[in-house]
Amino acid sequence: MNVVPTAIADVLVIEPKVFGDDRGFFYESFNQKVFCEKTNINVHFVQDNHSRSEKNVLRGLHYQIQQPQGKLVRVVLGEVLDVAVDIRKNSPTFGQWVSQVLSADNKKMFWVPPGFAHGFVVLSDVAEFLYKTTDYYAPEYERSILWNDAELNIDWKISESARLSEKDKAGVLFKDAEIFE
Residues annotated catalytic, as ranges: 62, 131
The closest alpha carbon to 45, from 71, 27, 67, 63, belongs to: 71
The span from the CA of 79 to the CA of 55, in Å, is 9
Contacts of 51 (CB under 8 A, 6+ apart): 59, 128, 129
Alpha-carbon 16 to chain mean position: 17
Q: Which residues contact 107 (CB under 8 A, 6 or more apart)?
A: 15, 16, 18, 27, 74
Say which residues have a Cβ less than 8 Å from residue 104's Cβ, sequence separation at least 6: 75, 76, 77, 78, 79
